[in-house]
Amino acid sequence: MLIEKHKDKIATILKRYPEKRAALLPLLWLSQEEQGYLSEAAMKEIAGLLGLTPPQVYETVTFYTMLNRQPIGKHHIQVCRSLMCALVGTEQLLGWIHAKLGIKPGQTTPDGLFTLSLVECLASCGTGPMMQVNDDYYEQLTQEKVNRILDDLKREGKCPLATGPFMFPLPEEVKR
């Protein structure tokens, strides 16, 4: 259970807020990072911790797209479908992912490694088409890059093409 494993962390989080309920999102994050999703048992435990009813936790969870109520693939591919990315190739990107993994938005590969979702704007509009895989952004994608990223993720669990601290364009690229 969360409370036994993360006693100190939970105490630190609770101290940040004068009202307990404000700690709800931080605790949900803690739980999701632990399990990959939010089980009913986890939501009930958090409700108990914060003096809330389970429905109060559940109604909050269902509002936020990043909180998963069921297990998903190990690598969650989230492709931005909003206009700015769509103008420069969301459809192609979906085609490249489909060619490589055989999945469409909403599907998971049979080995459980990849789940593909369409999401709205991720604040990467100048560097589309792009996707977020778990915590990492991958931008200015091409078919070659997508193949390499998916290969790397499958083999190593990570890929060096993930964007670091963001700056675009880089100073050396700016012609003023």
Partner 1 sequence: MPKHELLLLKNMSQPGYTGSLADYERAGGYQALRKVLGKIAPADIIEMVKKSGLRGRGGAGFPTGVKWSFIPKDHPGPRYLICNADESEPGTFKDRQLMERDPHQMIEGMILAAYAISAHTAYIYIRGEFVLGAKILENALAEAYRAGYLGPNILRSGFALDIYMHRGAGAYICGEETALLESLEGKRGLPRIKPPFPATHGLFKLPTVVNNVETLANVPHIVNRGSEWFASIGSPPKSTGTRIFCLSGHVKRPGNYEVPMGITFREMIYDIAGGMRGDKPLKAFIPGGASATFMIPEHLDVKMDFDSVAQAGSMLGSGGVTVMEEGTCMVWAAENLLHFFNHESCGKCTPCREGSLWLLQILRRIDHGKGKMDDLATLLRLCGNIAGRTVCAFGDAEIAPITSTLQYFRDEYEAHIREQGCPFRPQPARELITVGH
* Chain residues that interact with partner 1, rule: CB under 8 A: 16, 18-19, 21-26, 28-29, 50, 59-60, 63-67, 81-84, 86-88, 90-91, 94-95, 98, 104-106, 117-128, 132, 135-137, 163-169, 171, 173-176
Q: How far is the CB of 2 from partner 1 (least distance, A)?
A: 16
Instruction: Specify the residue, 91 or 151, whose C-beta has the smaller distance to partner 1.
Output: 91
Helices (H), the chain: 2-5, 7-15, 24-35, 40-50, 54-61, 83-87, 90-101, 143-156
The CA-CA-CA angle for residues 66, 72, 76, to 5°, reads: 65
Q: How far is the CB of 99 from partner 1 (least distance, A)?
A: 11
Give the whole-angstrom CA distance, residue 80 versus residue 98: 15
DSSP 8-class letter at 50: H
Instruction: Specify the residue, 118 or 161, whose C-beta has the smaller distance to partner 1.
Output: 118
Instruction: Specify the residue, 113 or 119, whose C-beta has the smaller distance to partner 1.
Output: 119
**Which letter, b or e, does each residue of 142-170 get, where b requires 16 or more Cβ atoms within 10 Å of its Cβ?**
eeebbeebbeebbeeeebebbbeeeeeee
Q: How far is the CB of 111 from partner 1 (least distance, A)?
A: 20
Instruction: Specify the residue, 120 or 151, whose C-beta has the smaller distance to partner 1.
Output: 120
Q: How far is the CB of 39 from partner 1 (least distance, A)?
A: 16
